[in-house]
Structure formats: C-alpha cells, structure tokens
A and B are shown apart, each in its own frame.
Chain A
Amino acid sequence: MDHLLLMVWHALLVSVFFAFLWRSTAIGRRNLFLKTFLIMVVGAAALGWLMFPFP
C-alpha cells in the first residue's frame, strides 16, 4: 500500500468535490480544483519534509 498514492487519491476526491460544490463555471472549477489539489499535495509533502528532523 503506497501512502503517497493514498494521499494523492484523497486530495483528488476532495478537490473535485469542493470544485463542484463552490464553483459553477468550468474555468472556476478548474482553477479551484488545481489550487486545492496542489495545496493539499505539495503542502503535505512540504510538512513531511519539515517534520523529518524531529523524532
């Protein structure tokens, strides 16, 4: 089981849901999807690296 893949899958599902929930135009949905998806995936990876030195 790949933890990174699971995180990306979770981020994908949640991003698609909120894009369709909060935006009604195709461009708005695409922009919100990309924004939330990248924030979740890149943010989680960055936080992981920041926590790396801590026990």
Chain B
Amino acid sequence: MTAIESKSPKKKPADSVKDQKAEGRSRASVPLLFGSWFLPGFGHWRLGKKRRAGVFAAVIFCAFITGVFLHGEIGTPKPESPFSWLAAFACLGNGILAIGRLVWLNGLGGLLGGFPFALQGGGSPAAAGFAYGNTFLYTAGLMNLLAVLDVSDIARGEKD
C-alpha cells in the first residue's frame, strides 16, 4: 500500500448514498413501479409522460387482445416443465390484463386455490393461431416490463 492510499479517508456507506442522490441515482418508489406493472402506462402517466403512457397502454393492450383472440395461452407454471416459469413470468408482465384473464378462466377462488400449478391458462393448442397468440402474449408482457424499467429510469432522473 502506498503512502497516498493509506492517508486517503475511507468512504462510509452513508456517503455513498449521498453521492448517489446528488447524482440523481436514488431509487424509484415501489408503489410507482408496482402501479406501472399492474396498469400498463400508469407509471409514465404519473410522471407526466402522458403521450408515451397512452401509446404504451394501447400497444400492450392491442398485443394482449390479439394474443387472446388467436387462442394463445397465458403461461402458467407446470411442475414437469421448468421453462414454463419463463412463459409465466413473461405473461404476468401484462399486469392486470393477465390477472384478469386468469380470473376469467379460473374464477377468483380457483386462482387463489390453484396457484401455482393448478391454474388454467386458456388457449387451444389445436388452434392454428396458438403459437402466434402465445408470441403476442409474451411480447406484450415483456414490453410492459421494459416500460417499468423505463419508469424507473425516468423517476431516478437518468432519462427524460
């Protein structure tokens, strides 16, 4: 260790937090991020980005509805298929749309009682549009999750 290094004062964790806040790198609020996930477009609307909020909400809603009409399946975890968790994660990104669809298919009691392995995701594997519908549902969910990350960036002042 050099003489210069030994004399330099150590930074405390509190100093690090102060530095982050000074640089605009504080955390986004959890309710804002939750609302942004639950209701597509809500986070941007709350932050004053109303045009972006409207476009994101419309795009995610259109993609989700297209997926449902093409007989796509809301991803649900299956014990014999580990990758089904990824599909479930992507679909749950749709927030209230995915939860509403699961309630529609399972009923509220079935949703609460059947979580996680006994849920019905709907869809029809025999339908011609099944794979296309799934793609639309996954895409909509992942776009909403990207929108949540965007809300986080905007709230922390790292993006306009």
Whether A24 contacts B160 by the Cβ 8 Å rule is yes
Query: Does A14 reach chain B (CB closer than 8 Å)?
Result: yes
Query: What mask results when residues 1 to 34 of chain A are scored 1 for a CB within 8 Å of chain B, else 0?
Result: 1010010011001101100110010000000000
Query: Does B42 reach chain A (CB closer than 8 Å)?
Result: no
Query: Does B122 reach chain A (CB closer than 8 Å)?
Result: no
Given contacts A9-B66, A24-B160, contact A17 B143 (CB under 8 A): yes
Whole-angstrom distance between the Cβ of A27 and the nearest chain B Cβ: 15
Given contacts A21-B146, A21-B150, A24-B160, contact A10 B139 (CB under 8 A): yes
Query: In the complex, what residues of A have CB within 8 A of residue B59's CB?
Result: 13, 16-17
In the complex, A16 Cα to B147 Cα: how many Å?
13
Residue of B nearest to A14 (CB): B139
Query: In the complex, what residues of A have CB within 8 A of residue B132's CB?
Result: 1, 3, 6
Whether A20 contacts B55 by the Cβ 8 Å rule is yes
> How big is chain A's contact interface, by range?
10 to 19
Whether A10 contacts B136 by the Cβ 8 Å rule is yes
Query: Does B63 reach chain A (CB closer than 8 Å)?
Result: yes
Chain B residues numbered 43-69 whose CB sits less than 8 Å from any CB in chain A = 52, 55-56, 59-60, 62-63, 66
Which of A1, A3, A9, A13: most chain B Cβ within 10 A?
Answer: A13
Residue of B nearest to A21 (CB): B150
Whether B56 contacts A20 by the Cβ 8 Å rule is yes
Query: In the complex, what residues of B have CB within 8 A of residue A3's CB?
Result: 132
Whether B56 contacts A13 by the Cβ 8 Å rule is no
Query: In the complex, what residues of A have CB within 8 A of residue B150's CB?
Result: 21
In the complex, A6 Cα to B132 Cα: how many Å?
8
Query: In the complex, what residues of B have CB within 8 A of residue A17's CB?
Result: 55-56, 59-60, 143, 146
In the complex, A1 Cα to B72 Cα: how many Å?
14
In the complex, A13 Cα to B60 Cα: how many Å?
8
Residues of B within 8 A of A (CB): 52, 55-56, 59-60, 62-63, 66, 70, 128-129, 132, 135-136, 139, 143, 146-147, 150, 160
